Structure 1
């Protein structure tokens, strides 16, 4: 992978308006040995269409991502540190970065990065292949499907043939992803999306370069620790969830070390157990997080309100519980999350029962 670095410039690319603040611009082309579908691969990462940190184009052929990248040896700007814009970990400053991904061919994605420093921009580009699922190998799962002659495997093969570019992203950013998942605990999607949007709009950092208006870089652990309790209430975050978020923020350095855990199935399973030692982190939260940070191919979201029903009805025509779902997925052990993703892309729609939950809003009480 060749990285080209350009001098700081406020000029915009062909997407989005220019920012007034100049930033170092670097770019590369990520070439994969098998197809990648940018939209499908990044699909699990944004928290709703209005996610201020990640926007996928309507066409699915491009995306904006606002995140942080390490810049070893740099010190945080005092003003940024005071506002929660940067965090130090053993002398490493994590700087705000804007990424723009564009699908060029079935195998090639151009990635551009803007950051305050060359080192942060280059580091962001080195992380880009993982975000695009470059290390996600479907070959053994494809072999498993082709060797089977049952109707379910045949149906999964058909879905797989329609979507050869589907990959599981390993986006890293363990602390940030834990925050997004904790916000989704025991609440509706609308509540969780609203919390995330308001959190970033209020405490997120302005991204460098030409990111579209309204995008934000998620707050650092230090920034999260500085949010007063009454503000969590205004953000529609229940007290137990706020306490869990503060526990996560207080362990930011340890989580960054755990983030470097290899993405092998056995290592990820061990990491899930370690995350569950944190107060407020259960199997569902660990699985949902590691599916996004490490491309966890075998971690299933046990405890999800809908998933077991969907899997059971898709595979047998009948709803089931978590134990039943795990029994149904056992033939694809090692690849169970791949099966879940294919079910989601199959066009199957489960039977709906009753009206949607409409939670009461207590924020102004």
Structure 2
């Protein structure tokens, strides 16, 4: 059983660049993007659902599947980034020539907002202090081993139920490459997932998340940027972003969190969006020294 809804998109809307951040690179058990089609499995307050967005001419055709198809369709425009509010940003972007140029080039990119907090907590906690390759492998294994198939016509897995994550012994996560510290942080969030999902906005969610041991400003920012489409969320504590910001805005090869926030201050309200623009533009500071090694906790 399915239902549909047609969505109008803004001029120059970039479909792929707007929705791809919702998926783990290369392969995501809970979603898929192919050409003009985006699929996303959702564990919603109303139950499981799968949302399909199809780029159709000048708009999007949204189709929902499963018991919570209605919830998915009501949220479809936000998930596509169509509730993203750019008012005021062009004036801020004009204060720096590079930001102004990137804002014009990527004017069609919108920030999605899933409205689902724990879904983003899972990925953000797994990405703490490890390489993306390690984190994404763990994410794939957890979604495959600890969840169930999503409704709809294609094979996807639902994001894991927080109750299952909370009840699973920490050593079960070890073969997935997740050590006890990250597992316990994830399980603490899973225990209060219901309260997290009821947060009124990114400020409340940030406060609740950072009150949990093992979850700091970086993780909270990664979560609210996706769950609420918060354009001001800055991932303080990131390994690369302070250097990228310092290089892009001041020509400095290395930067601290404090320097990053100083340089981003003129863009308050859209600081996270500016960081995203640097990523879309492929900007990065010069690299020095060896890369972070890829470790396997599963073999320890």
State the TM-score bracket (shorter-chain normalisation): over 0.9
Determine whether 1:198 maps to 2:141.
Answer: yes
Per-residue CA deviation, residues 197-242 of structure 1 (Å, 9 max, x unaligned), is: 000111121111212x4x2111111111232222111111110111
CA contact (8 A) 2:41 2:157 kept: yes
Q: How many residues align?
A: 299
Determine the structure 1 residue equivalent to 2:265: 330
Q: CA deviation at 1:111?
A: 1.1
CA distance in 2: counterparts of 1:220 and 1:291, whole angstroms? 21
Contact 1:99 1:112 (C-alpha < 8 Å) held by counterparts: yes
In structure 2, distance between residues paired with 1:360 and 1:277 = 29
**Which whole-Å CA distance do the structure 1 matches of 2:223 and 2:4 have between them?**
28
SS in 2 for 1:139: coil
Tell me what 2:64 maps to. Answer: 113
Which segments of 5 or more consecutive residues in structure 1 lack a partner in the other structure?
Answer: 1-23, 72-93, 263-267
Q: Which whole-Å CA distance do the structure 1 matches of 2:31 and 2:167 have between them?
A: 24
Q: Which residue of 2 aligns with 1:50?
A: 27
Mapped to 2, the partners of 1:195 and 1:231 lie a distance apart of 12
Deviation at 1:46, TM superposition (A): 1.3
Shift of 1:36: 2.7
| Rounded Cα–Cα distance in structure 2 between residues aligned with 1:125 and 1:333 | 32
Choose which of 168, 185, 205 in structure 2 pairs with 1:227.
168
SS at match of 1:113: strand
The structure 2 residue matched to 1:271, chosen from 181, 190, 205, is: 205
Which is higher, the Rg of structure 1 or of structure 2? 1
In 2: Cα distance, 1:204 partner to 1:66 partner: 11
Structure with more of its chain in helix, by fraction: 2
SS at match of 1:363: helix
CA distance in 2, matches of 1:314, 1:143: 19
Q: Does 1:127 align with 2:78?
A: no
1:33 shift after superposition: 4.8
Query: CA RMSD of the aligned region, Å?
Result: 1.7
* Corresponding residue of 2:44: 69
Match of 1:272, SS?
Answer: helix
Report the TM-score when normalising by structure 1: 0.78
Are 2:182 and 1:207 equivalent residues in the alignment? no
Find out whether 1:339 has 2:274 as its counterpart.
yes
1:103 corresponds to 2:55 = yes
Output one character per residue of 1:17-38: Cα deviation in whole Å (capped at 9) or x when no partner: xxxxxxx111111114554322
Deviations 1:256-302 (A, max 9, x none): 211xx24xxxxx23431232111111000100100000011111000
Q: Distance in 2 between matches of 1:50 and 1:33?
A: 29
Q: Distance in 2 between matches of 1:176 and 1:32?
A: 25
Contact kept in structure 1, 2:5 and 2:63, CA below 8 Å: yes
Are 1:303 and 2:237 matched, yes or no? yes
Q: Give per-residue Cα distances to partners, 1:344-365, cap 9 Å, x unaligned.
A: 1223233122332223324244
Structure 2 SS opposite 1:43: helix
TM-score, normalized by length of structure 2? 0.94
Matched ranges for 1:136-215 at <5 A: 136-146=84-94, 148=95, 153-211=96-154, 213=155, 215=156
